[in-house]
Amino acid sequence: MKPGHPVTRRDRPRRRPVDWERRLYLTAHPFAYPLLRGLARRGPIVRVPGLGVVVNDASLAREVLMDGETFRKDGPGSPGDLWTPVLGPSVLLNMEGEAHRALRRRLTDLFVPSYTEALCDRVLEEPLGRLGDRLRRGETVDLVDAARVMAAAVISEVIGLDARTETAWRDLFEQGERVVSMVSLRTRRLSPSQVRRAREVLDPLGDIAEKAYLGDESTVMGRMRALGLSREEARGAAGAFFLTGTETVATFIPRLVALLHDHGRLEDAARDGALLGRAVEEAMRVTTPTPVMLRSVHRAVTVGGVAVRPGDRVLIATHNCCRAHGPFDPDRPHPPELRRLWFGAGPHFCIGYPLAMAQIRRVARTVLVAAPLEITERSAARGVLIPTYRRLAVRSVRAREGDAA
Q: What is the mean pLDDT of residues 391-397?
A: 96
163 neighbors 172 (Cβ within 8 angstroms): yes
Q: Where are the domains of the chain?
A: 20-404
Note if the pTM is more than 0.85.
yes
Domain 20-404: give its CATH architecture: Orthogonal Bundle (1.10)
What is the pLDDT, as a whole number, of residue 1?
46
Give the HSE-up count for residue 28: Cα atoms under 13 Å, Cβ half-sphere. Answer: 28
375 neighbors 394 (Cβ within 8 angstroms): yes
**Closest listed residue to residue 267, CA positions, set 371, 401, 127, 386:** 371
Please write the tens of the pLDDT for every residue from 56-111.
Answer: 999 999 999 999 889 987 766 666 667 777 777 666 665 566 777 777 777 777 88
394 neighbors 145 (Cβ within 8 angstroms): no
Q: What is the mean pLDDT of residues 204-233?
A: 85
Residue 305 identity (one-letter amino acid): G
Q: Is the pLDDT of residue 379 over 90?
A: yes
Q: What is the mean pLDDT of residues 227-254?
A: 85
3-state class (DSSP) for residue 389: strand
CA distance 267 to 300: 52
Say which DSSP state 107 is in: H
CA distance 28 to 383: 6
**Closest listed residue to residue 74, CA positions, set 242, 295, 264:** 295
More confident: 185 or 20: 20
**Closest listed residue to residue 263, CA positions, set 274, 279, 244, 247:** 279
**Closest listed residue to residue 297, CA positions, set 100, 49, 67:** 67
Give the HSE-up count for residue 185: Cα atoms under 13 Å, Cβ half-sphere. Answer: 25
Q: What is the mean pLDDT of residues 218-245?
A: 83
Please write the tens of the pLDDT for every residue from 311-328.
Answer: 899 999 999 999 999 999
CB atoms within 10 A of CB 17: 8
Please write the tens of the pLDDT for every residue from 12-34.
Answer: 444 566 799 999 999 999 999 99
What is the pLDDT, as a whole number, of residue 95?
59
